């Protein structure tokens, strides 16, 4: 099973807006009677940027791919057995989900502001479930163990 988490599309509205502004400049240049070459350059540039903005809004960049074997964050794959902890941390860019690995100098950060608010809780739950499954942990249900279940 693979789940893909993408950046929230609202982060990229500026690309679409820039393209529309350039198309507006092309319309003003045309209205003032500037040469067709200048107008066509602005129309082409504005059209390409507008199309790129629409493309990014429809298919935002991928932040993380969660698989049964591991996680891929921004192109770097890490297996679940190499991850020791999932938590939250405050960074200079705001709050982030941190995946601490067996290598202390190589944590994996997923900025919360990159994701849609509704997807953050789902991602955290999925990460913890996958990590628990990889290390053989189960969620404690609050009951006492059986007498024959002794600590090792």
Segment 56-65, tens digit of pLDDT = 999 999 989 9
Q: Determine the Cα–Cα distance for residues 11 and 113; give it in Å rounded to an integer.
A: 9
Same domain for 51 and 101? no
Q: Are 53 and 69 members of one domain?
A: no
Q: Is residue 144 one of the residues assigned to a domain?
A: no
**Range of 112's domain?**
62-135
> By 3-state DSSP, what share of the chain in percent is helix, strand and coil, each rounded to 5?
45, 25, 25
The residue from 58, 74, 97 where one domain ends is: 58
User: 87 and 74: one domain?
Assistant: yes
24 and 87 in a single domain? The answer is: no
> pLDDT band at residue 146, thresholds of 50, 70 and 90?
low
Is the whole model's pTM more than 0.75, yes or no?
A: no
Residue 41 lies in a domain: yes
The answer to whether residue 149 sits within a structural domain is no
d(CA 123, CA 116): 10
């Amino acid at each position: 099973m693979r789940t893909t988490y993408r950046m929230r599309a609202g982060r990229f509205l500026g690309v679409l807006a820039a393209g529309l502004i350039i198309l507006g400049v092309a319309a003003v240049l045309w209205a003032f009677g500037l040469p067709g070459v200048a107008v066509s350059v602005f129309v082409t540039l504005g059209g390409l940027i507008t199309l790129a903005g629409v493309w990014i809004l429809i298919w935002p960049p991928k932040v993380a791919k969660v698989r049964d074997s591991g996680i891929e964050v921004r192109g770097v794959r890490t297996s679940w057995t190499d991850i020791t902890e999932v938590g939250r941390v405050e960074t200079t860019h705001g709050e982030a989900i941190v995946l601490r690995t067996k290598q202390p100098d190589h944590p994996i950060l997923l900025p919360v502001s990159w994701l849609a608010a509704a997807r953050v809780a789902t991602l955290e739950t999925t990460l913890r479930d996958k990590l628990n499954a990889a290390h053989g942990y189960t969620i404690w249900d609050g009951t006492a163990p059986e007498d024959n279940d002794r600590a090792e």
